[in-house]
Amino acid sequence: MHKRFLVFQHLPWEGPGTFLRRSAERQSLELCIVEIWHQSIPDLRSFDGLIVLGGSPNVDEEKAYPFLKNEKAAIRRALEEDLPYMGFCLGHQLLADALGARVGPNFCRSVGFTQGLLTKTGLKHPVFDGLPGNLPLFKWHAQAVLPPVPKAIDILATSPQCQVEAISVEGRPHVIGLQFDNHAACVNDVQIWLAGDEKWLSEPPRVNTSAILAQAREQETLMGEQFEILFENYIRSVL
């Protein structure tokens, strides 16, 4: 049966990554993209799930990014209606904010590749079924979900660069937030992101973009395979 997920995109160059688009196609899932900064949000009831991507805004910057107000309301509505939800980076933070968690500056700017570690709860979560406890993560953020989190939130993964790398809601495995952007860890996507955020990356502490690109080339195959497993797990658990 044909399924459709609504996708909130925040930047022209930061759309669904190659791995996400490929995995969605293999699952016969249509991604219906809304460029949230200038397009209206359609009726959520017309879709089978919601994916919220990353982007430049912080969750508390409604004055600078007025579209956040309507977006936050839509996310709360999705949660109230128990719609399947998957958030990446900012989408993960917006989910946490809607659930009552604090979001603020991370203890470091986390850009590039690092190793993540699944928690005991994460090892049991269906989205990580068949994946190792240690996962390569592609990161692109300076804000983060700050512990302690509300009791209803399960922390699924952590890393040396961020304490809360993945979350879900107790009893609702179809609601998940991922601080990492593994959906876009393909070399072509990484090149686009490096160009799109060139100014931010040049701010101190300056990011070694050549090293990031080299790591992307080295890990592209593995990260593509692992993301496909993760996304297949997710779709199988919600549809």
pLDDT digits (tens, 9 = 90+) for 158-179: 999 999 999 999 999 999 999 9
52 — pLDDT class (breaks 50, 70, 90): very high
Q: What is the mean pLDDT of residues 177-182?
A: 98
**Measured between alpha carbons, how far is 69 from 166 in angstroms, rounded to an integer?**
24
211 — pLDDT class (breaks 50, 70, 90): very high
Q: Would you state the structure tokens that stand for residue 63, as one six-digit string? A: 């004055």
N residues, the chain: 239
1 — pLDDT class (breaks 50, 70, 90): low
Within 8 A by CB and 6+ apart from 141, the residues are 54, 89, 90, 106, 109, 110, 111, 162, 179
Nearest of 155, 79, 86 to residue 121 by alpha carbon: 155
230 — pLDDT class (breaks 50, 70, 90): very high
DSSP state of 209: H
Nearest of 39, 116, 51, 147 to residue 90 by alpha carbon: 51
Name the average pLDDT for the chain. 97
Q: Would you state the structure tokens that stand for residue 105, as one six-digit string? A: 């500056």
Q: Would you state the structure tokens that stand for residue 44, as one six-digit string? A: 């959520």
**pTM, two decimal places:** 0.98
Distances (CA, A) of 200 to 156, 162, 193: 29, 19, 11
pLDDT score recorded for residue 25? 97
The H or E element that residue 160 is part of is: none
Domains of the chain: 3-238 (3.40.50.880)
Within 8 A by CB and 6+ apart from 188, the residues are 18
Q: What is the mean pLDDT of residues 195-218?
A: 96
- The residue behind tokens 């996310």 is 75
79-137 pLDDT tens trace:
999 999 999 999 999 999 999 999 999 999 999 999 999 999 999 999 999 999 999 99
196-205 pLDDT tens trace:
999 999 999 9
